[in-house]
A and B are shown apart, each in its own frame.
Chain A
Amino acid sequence: MSQSGIAEQAAHNGHATDAESPRGLAARLVAGMREQVQLRIPRADLDERDPDYIRESLPRLWLLASLWFRGEVRGLGHIPEEGPVLLVGNHSGGNLTPDTTVFTLAFCAYFGVERAFYQLAHNLVLSMPGLGFLRKYGTVAASPENADTALASGAALLVYPGGDYEVHRPSWERHKVDFNRRKGFIRLALEQNVPIVPVVSIGGQETALFLTRGGSLARALGLDRAFRLKVLPISLALPWGLNVGDMLGHVPLPAKIVVEALPPVHLRDEFGPDPDVDEIYDHLIRVMQETLDALAAERRLPVIG
Chain B
Amino acid sequence: MRVGATIEIAAPPEAVWDFVSDPSRALHYMAGITRWEVVSDERRGLGARYRTLLRVGAAEVGGLVEVVEYSEPRDMAWTSVTGIDQRGRWRLRERPDGRTRVEFRLSYGVAGAGIFGAIAERVAAPIVRGHLERTVRQLKRQVEHEQQRQRAAERRRARVA
Query: Contact mask B118-129 → A, CB, 8 Å, 1/0?
Result: 011101100000
Quote the shortest CB–CB distance from B50 to chain A (angstroms): 14
Quote the shortest CB–CB distance from A263 to chain B (angstroms): 17
Quote the shortest CB–CB distance from B20 to chain A (angstroms): 25
Contact A59 B58 (CB under 8 A): no
Q: Is the interface of B mostly helix, strand, loop or mixed?
A: mixed
Contact B123 A67 (CB under 8 A): yes
Contact A59 B110 (CB under 8 A): yes
Quote the shortest CB–CB distance from A217 to chain B (angstroms): 36
Q: How far is the CA of A18 from the CA of B82 in the complex (A)?
A: 54
> Which of B56, B59, B82, B111 gathers the greatest number of chain A CB atoms within 10 Å?
B59
Stretch in A101-109, A150-158, A294-302 touching the partner: A101-109
Contact B110 A58 (CB under 8 A): yes
A66 within 8 A of B: yes
Quote the shortest CB–CB distance from B95 to chain A (angstroms): 39
- In the bound complex, residues from chain B placing their C-beta under 8 Å from that of A57 are 113, 116
Partner of B58, one of A56, A60, A73: A73
Contact A66 B123 (CB under 8 A): yes
A107-166 contacts to B, CB under 8 A, are: 109-110, 112, 114
B57 within 8 A of A: yes
Quote the shortest CB–CB distance from A97 to chain B (angstroms): 15
Contact B121 A59 (CB under 8 A): yes
Contact B113 A114 (CB under 8 A): no
Q: How far is the CA of A72 from the CA of B57 in the complex (A)?
A: 8
Q: How far is the CA of A114 from the CA of B110 in the complex (A)?
A: 15
Q: How far is the CA of A56 from the CA of B121 in the complex (A)?
A: 13
Contact B116 A109 (CB under 8 A): no
Contact A65 B57 (CB under 8 A): yes
Contact B117 A56 (CB under 8 A): yes
Query: Contact mask B52-90 → A, CB, 8 Å, 1/0?
Result: 010011111111100000000000000000111000000
B112 within 8 A of A: yes
Q: How far is the CA of A244 from the CA of B103 in the complex (A)?
A: 57
Q: How far is the CA of A166 from the CA of B95 in the complex (A)?
A: 64
A281 within 8 A of B: no
Contact B113 A69 (CB under 8 A): no
Query: What is the size category of the interface that chain A forms with chain B?
Result: 20 to 34
With contacts A63-B120, A112-B83 known, is A105 near B60, CB below 8 A? no
With contacts A73-B58, A112-B82 known, is A63 near B123, CB below 8 A? yes
B96 within 8 A of A: no
Contact B113 A72 (CB under 8 A): no
A195 within 8 A of B: no
Q: How far is the CA of A72 from the CA of B119 in the complex (A)?
A: 20
Contact B121 A73 (CB under 8 A): no
Residue of A nearest to B118 (CB): A59
A252 within 8 A of B: no
Quote the shortest CB–CB distance from A99 to chain B (angstroms): 12
A44 within 8 A of B: no
Contact A63 B82 (CB under 8 A): no
- In the bound complex, residues from chain A placing their C-beta under 8 Å from that of B56 are 62, 66
Contact B57 A66 (CB under 8 A): yes
Quote the shortest CB–CB distance from B37 to chain A (angstroms): 10
Give the A-binding residues of B (Cβ under 8 A): 53, 56-64, 82-84, 110-114, 116-117, 119-121, 123-124
Return 20 A-B CB contacts under 8 Å, by A number.
A55-B112, A55-B113, A56-B113, A57-B116, A59-B116, A59-B117, A59-B121, A62-B58, A62-B59, A62-B120, A65-B57, A65-B58, A67-B123, A71-B57, A71-B58, A72-B58, A73-B60, A105-B58, A109-B60, A112-B63
Top 8 nearest A-B pairs (CB, nearest first) are A66-B57, A71-B58, A59-B120, A65-B58, A109-B59, A60-B116, A66-B58, A59-B117
Give the B-binding residues of A (Cβ under 8 A): 52, 55-60, 62-63, 65-67, 69-73, 76, 102, 105-106, 109-110, 112, 114
Contacts A73-B59, A102-B58 known; 15 new A-B pairs at CB < 8 A: A56-B112, A56-B113, A58-B110, A60-B120, A62-B56, A62-B61, A63-B116, A65-B58, A66-B56, A105-B59, A106-B59, A109-B59, A109-B61, A110-B53, A112-B83
